[in-house]
Amino acid sequence: MPTIRLTCAQALVRFLAAQRTIVDGAEVPIFAGAWAIFGHGNVAAMGEALHGIGDALPTWRGHNEQGMALAAIAYAKAMRRRRMMAVTSSIGPGATNMVTAAAVAHVNRLPVLFLPGDVFAGRRPDPVLQQVEDFEDATVSANDCFRPVSRFYDRIARPEQILTALPRAMAVLTDPAQCGPVTLALCQDTQAEAFDYPESFFAPRTWRIRRPPPDAAELAEAVALLRAAKAPLIIAGGGVHYADAAATLARFAEEHGIPVSETQAGKSALRHDHPMNLGAVGVSGTSAANAAAERADLILAVGTRLGDFATGSWALYRNPNRRVVALNVQGFDAGKRLAAPLVADADLGLQALSTALATHRAPAEWLAACQAGSRSLTLGGKMWRR
Q: What is the DSSP letter of 82?
A: S
**What's the domain range around 131?**
3-207
Under a CB-based contact definition with an 8 Å cutoff, are residues 61 and 37 in contact? yes
Same domain as 167, residue 246: no
| Nearest one of 319, 287, 31, 307 to 169, comparing CA atoms | 31
The model carries a pTM of: 0.93
Same domain as 198, residue 269: no
Whichever domain contains 263, its CATH number is 3.40.50.1220
> DSSP alpha helices (H): ranges in 198-263?
216-228, 238-242, 246-256
Taking each helix axis from N to C end, the angle separating 346-357 and 216-228, rounded to the nearest 10 degrees, works out to 60
- Widest Cα–Cα separation across the chain: 75
What is the C-alpha to C-alpha distance for residues 334 and 327, in angstroms, rounded to an integer? 6
> DSSP alpha helices (H): ranges in 64-151?
65-78, 93-96, 99-107
- Bridge partners of 369? none
Same domain as 302, residue 188: no
Under a CB-based contact definition with an 8 Å cutoff, are residues 123 and 132 in contact? no
386 residues of the chain, pLDDT tens digit each: 899 999 999 999 999 999 999 999 999 999 999 999 999 889 989 999 999 999 999 999 999 999 999 999 999 999 999 999 999 999 878 999 999 999 999 999 999 999 999 999 999 888 887 788 889 999 999 999 999 999 999 999 999 999 999 999 999 999 999 999 999 999 999 999 999 999 999 999 999 999 999 999 999 999 999 999 999 999 999 999 999 999 999 999 999 999 999 999 999 999 999 999 999 999 999 999 999 999 999 999 999 999 999 998 888 988 999 999 999 999 999 999 899 999 999 999 999 999 999 999 999 999 999 999 876 443 333 333 33
Q: How many helices (H) and strands (E) does the chain have?
A: 15, 19
What is the C-alpha to C-alpha distance for residues 341 and 221, in angstroms, rounded to an integer? 9
Same domain as 190, residue 259: no
Same domain as 165, residue 135: yes
Residue 70 phi/psi, 5° resolution? -65, -35
Asked which of 154, 186, 207 is the last residue of a domain, the reply is 207
Whichever domain contains 108, its CATH number is 3.40.50.970
What is the C-alpha to C-alpha distance for residues 290 and 299, in angstroms, rounded to an integer? 12
Same domain as 271, residue 194: no
Residue 206 phi/psi, 5° resolution? -100, 125
The Cα-based distances of 250 to 105, 164, 256, 276, 347 in angstroms read 28, 42, 10, 8, 11
Same domain as 279, residue 243: yes
Same domain as 279, residue 241: yes
Asked which of 189, 207, 225 is the last residue of a domain, the reply is 207
- Bridge partners of 382? 379
What is the C-alpha to C-alpha distance for residues 65 and 33, in angstroms, rounded to an integer? 15
Taking each helix axis from N to C end, the angle separating 65-78 and 99-107, rounded to the nearest 10 degrees, works out to 20
- Looking at the structure of the chain, the number of domains it has is 2
Under a CB-based contact definition with an 8 Å cutoff, are residues 352 and 344 in contact? yes
| Nearest one of 364, 347, 368, 370 to 279, comparing CA atoms | 370
pLDDT, residue 375, reads: 61
Same domain as 194, residue 111: yes
Same domain as 74, residue 11: yes
Residue 268 phi/psi, 5° resolution? 70, 15
Q: What is the DSSP letter of 102?
A: H
| Nearest one of 88, 180, 100 to 145, comparing CA atoms | 100
Same domain as 361, residue 280: yes
Same domain as 233, residue 87: no
Residue 185 phi/psi, 5° resolution? -75, 125
Asked which of 179, 207, 235 is the last residue of a domain, the reply is 207
pLDDT, residue 378, reads: 36
pLDDT, residue 178, reads: 97
